[in-house]
């Protein structure tokens, strides 16, 4: 019998915020866990939708016209081209899925490096 990928265990291996760690790959996408706290930058991805599933804590995804609030077990997909800013008042753990190589800020020049956990 083998184990799968335990998301909590992967999250326990690092403490940096806004630094996604790839835990699996799926159809040329990276499945990632990330710890976030504070405000990220406003950004958009022109070529990919942006998948968020909150595992722990409460995440606000600010859009220009409203804010989506996600608790544990709640998810949202920001459509491609839509400006958004994740904001976490306290530390939040999130599952992200993005095509491999997608810059997290929407801009390769400012993006966090892609690492594995």
Eight-class DSSP state of 65: S
Residue 100 found at the interface with a copy of itself (CB under 8 A): no
Backbone angles phi, psi at 33, to 5 degrees: -115, 145
Of the candidate spans 5-13, 35-43, 84-92, 107-115, the one that interacts with a copy of itself by CB under 8 A turns out to be 5-13
HSE at residue 37, side-chain half, CA atoms within 13 A, is 7
Environment class of 12 (CB within 10 Å of its CB; exposed 0-12, middle 13-18, buried 19+): exposed
Spell out, one character per residue from 57 to 86, where the chain touches a copy of itself: x when CB under 8 A holds, - when not: ----x----xxxxx--xxxxx---------
Spell out, one character per residue from 7 to 46, where the chain touches a copy of itself: x when CB under 8 A holds, - when not: xx--------------xxxxx-x-x---------------
Residue 113 found at the interface with a copy of itself (CB under 8 A): no
């Amino acid at each position: 019998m083998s184990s799968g990928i335990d998301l909590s265990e992967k999250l326990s291996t690092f403490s940096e915020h806004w630094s996604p760690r790839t835990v699996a790959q799926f159809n040329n996408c990276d499945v990632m866990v990330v710890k976030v706290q504070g405000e990220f930058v406003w950004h958009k991805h022109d070529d990919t939708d942006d998948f968020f599933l909150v595992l722990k804590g409460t995440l606000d995804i600010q859009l220009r016209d409203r804010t989506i609030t996600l608790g544990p077990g709640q998810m949202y997909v920001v459509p491609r081209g839509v400006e958004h800013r994740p904001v976490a008042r306290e530390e939040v753990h999130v599952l992200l899925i993005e095509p491999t190589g997608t810059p997290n800020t929407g801009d390769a020049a400012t993006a966090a490096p892609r690492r594995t956990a």
